[in-house]
A and B are shown apart, each in its own frame.
Chain A
Amino acid sequence: MDTLHQILSPDFLLRNSIYTSVLVGLACPLVGVFLVMRRLVFMGVALPQISSTGVAIALSLPLWLGFNKTGQGALNAHALAFSGSITFSLVAILLLAFMERRGRGQPEGRLGTAYVVASALSILLLAKNPYGEIGWLDMLKGEVITISNSDLILTAATLALVLVVLGVFHKELLFVSFDREMAITLRKNVVFWDVLLYLLIGLTVSIAVLSVGPLIAFGFLLIPALTAHYISRNMRQFMLLASLIGGVAAFIGFYIAYSWDLPVGPTDVVLLGLLYVAVWMVVRILPGGARLT
C-alpha cells in the first residue's frame, strides 16, 4: 500500500511517466479497435516499427548534415524525434492503405516486409549514431521514465485531439468501415473518412512510440481491443472496455514494475498478454462464450 500511496502522490518523481503510460493505455486501444475491425492487425505491428525508424532517421539527421552533435539539446532531439515519428507513420499508413485499396499483391507480405526492413534500418542507422543510440534503445525497451512536462503536455494534447475527433465522427468512421459500398451509394466521401481514420491512427501511433516505444505501442493498440472483443456485447462496450483495459493495465503494470524494479513497457505488455489469455480461457469455459474474433 505504501508503494501505491507513493505512486499516487503529486510529488512522485516519476508522475509524468505514469500519467503518460495511462494516457497511452487509454487512447491506443480506441484506434486499435478500428485496426482490429478492419482486419489490419499486421498494420498495428508494422506501423509502430516504421514510426520508430522515423525517429532513428530524425536523430541521425544532425550527424549526416554535419551539425554539432554535442550541442544538441534534449528539446531539439525530442522535436526531431517527433517530426520523424509522425512523418513516417502518416506516410506509411497512407501508402499501405492506398496499396491495400488497390487490392493487388499480398497485404501481409507488404506489411511483413515493411516491418522487418524498418527494424533492420533502425538498428543500422543508430549503430552509426552514438548520440541517438542510448535514447533509442531506452525507447525500444519501453523505459517510460524520462518524460518531461512538455512531453506529457504534447502527449495529452495529441491524444485528446484524437479522442475528440473519434468521438465526434464515430458514426461516419464506423459506417465506412462496416459497409463501404452502402456509404458510397449514400454519397459519403469514403476516401475522406478513410484518410481521417488513418491520420488518427498514425497520430496515435507516433505519439505512443515516442512515449513508450514501438513494442509497447503495438501491445496497447491491439491486445486490449482483442481482449475486449471477447467480453463485449455491443460497439460501445467494445470501445469503452478496450480503453479501460488499456488504462488499468498501464497503471497496474507501472505499479508492478516500480515495486519489482522492472522496465515499465514490457511489464505492461506481459500483463496485457496474461489478461488476454485469462479472458480467452474464461470465455471458452463459460457456456456459449466462444466469440468470433
Chain B
Amino acid sequence: MSIRWSRQKSKETESVSALEAWADTRNKTMNEALITLDNLGIGYNRQPILSDISLSIARASFTAILGANGSGKSTLLKTVLGLLPPVAGHITTVSTDVPLVFGYVPQAIQFDPIYMLTGFEVALMGVYGRVGPGRIVPSAERDFTRECLDAAGAEEFAHKRFAELSGGQKQRVLIARALVTRPDLLVLDEPTAGVDHETTHAVLDFISKINKEKGITILLVTHDFMMVRKHAGQVIWIYEGKVLLGPAKELLAAERMAEIFEIGVG
C-alpha cells in the first residue's frame, strides 16, 4: 500500500500548501523540550499506577512508549493529554503564547458505529478547536482537511461512512484528523491495534515520514518492538512498575533487553 504525502508535483510548484507552510514553522524550533514530566505520578482515583516519572520529550522527536498490557502506557498518554489529572508531580510544556495543541489519535475500535459520520466529517472535527461555537466551518478549513486526508492516504474513502471502513482506513482518517488540528505533538494510542501487518507497516512508515519531513513531534504507544526499533528515536519503556527512558537503539539492543528481562529494572 503506497502512501501519498503531497499533492501532485505541478500543484506543489505553484504554491506551498497550507499543511507544508504550517509544518515549516515547526522545524524552526527543533531540539527544545516540548513537554517535561517532573516527578509525575499517574493513576486513577488518586491511586498511583506509576510514580516519580521524570523525562522530557524534545520537539520534532519520535518517542515510543512500550510496555505490557496494563502496565500504564495509555494512562501515561492520557495524563500527558490532560484527560486524566496527575496523581503527583506536574507536567510543564514549552513556554509559548498559545497552549500546546495535541493531535490525538485514539484507538479506532473505541468509536461507536451508531454515528452516521463520513470519514471526512470525522477528520473535519480536527478544525473544531479553531472554529468557535455556533460558527460554520470556513471553506479554507475544509480544503485543509481534504489536504490532510490526501496526505494520510485517506481521501479516496473519506466520503464513506467511518463505521464501515476497515481498521487501517479508520486509522488513516484519525491520523488525518489529528493533522488537521495543526498539532505541536501527535499522540497515538496503539494506532495499529487490530490492523494487519501490511497496513501496520504503511501507517508507521507514514508517521515516521511526517516526523522526519514535517518535524512533527510524535508520541506513540505500542507493543511492537520491531516497529519501535525501526522508527523511534527515543523509548519510554514501562516494565514492572518502573519507567526506563533512553535512545531506542541503546535500550532495545539485545544485550540490554536480556539484562532488563533477566534482572529487572532496578
Question: A-side interface residues toward B, CB under 8 Å?
Answer: 36-37, 39, 168-169, 171-172, 174-175, 177-179, 181-188, 229, 232-235, 237-238, 292-293
Complex CA gap A177/B177 in Å reads 17
Complex CA gap A175/B133 in Å reads 11
Question: B-side interface residues toward A, CB under 8 Å?
Answer: 78, 81-83, 99, 101-102, 104, 106, 111-118, 121-122, 125, 128-129, 131, 133-134, 137, 161, 163, 177, 181
A interface majority secondary structure: helix
13 A–B contacts from the bound complex (CB under 8 Å): A168-B134, A171-B128, A175-B128, A179-B106, A179-B111, A181-B81, A181-B83, A183-B128, A185-B83, A185-B104, A229-B116, A233-B161, A292-B113
B128 and A39 contacting across the interface, CB-CB below 8 Å: no
A37 and B115 contacting across the interface, CB-CB below 8 Å: yes
Contact of B133 among A172, A178, A229 (CB under 8 A): A172
Q: Which residue of A lies closest to B105 (CB)?
A: A182
**A235 CB contacts on chain B under 8 angstroms:** 115-117, 121
**B101 CB contacts on chain A under 8 angstroms:** 186
Contact of A186 among B106, B115, B118, B181 (CB under 8 A): B181
Known: A172-B133, A181-B83. A36 touches B114 (CB 8 A): yes
**B125 CB contacts on chain A under 8 angstroms:** 175, 178-179, 182
Complex CA gap A174/B162 in Å reads 15
Contact of B106 among A168, A172, A181 (CB under 8 A): A181
A186 and B128 contacting across the interface, CB-CB below 8 Å: yes
Complex CA gap A36/B115 in Å reads 10
Closest 9 CB pairs of A and B: A186-B129, A292-B113, A185-B102, A168-B134, A185-B104, A238-B116, A235-B116, A178-B115, A234-B116
Q: Which residue of B lies closest to A189 (CB)?
A: B133
Complex CA gap A183/B82 in Å reads 11
**B122 CB contacts on chain A under 8 angstroms:** 178
**B131 CB contacts on chain A under 8 angstroms:** 171
Extra contacts, 6 of them, besides A169-B133, A234-B117 (Cβ < 8 A), are A37-B114, A39-B114, A174-B115, A181-B104, A181-B106, A234-B161
**A181 CB contacts on chain B under 8 angstroms:** 78, 81, 83, 104, 106
Smallest CB–CB gap between B262 and chain A, Å?
38
**A174 CB contacts on chain B under 8 angstroms:** 115
Complex CA gap A169/B131 in Å reads 12
Known: A184-B82, A185-B82, A186-B181. A178 touches B111 (CB 8 A): yes
**B117 CB contacts on chain A under 8 angstroms:** 178, 234-235
- Residue in A39, A175, A177, A234 whose Cβ sees the most chain B Cβ within 10 Å: A234
A185 and B81 contacting across the interface, CB-CB below 8 Å: yes
**A185 CB contacts on chain B under 8 angstroms:** 81-83, 102, 104
Smallest CB–CB gap between B224 and chain A, Å?
23
Q: Which residue of A lies closest to B125 (CB)?
A: A175
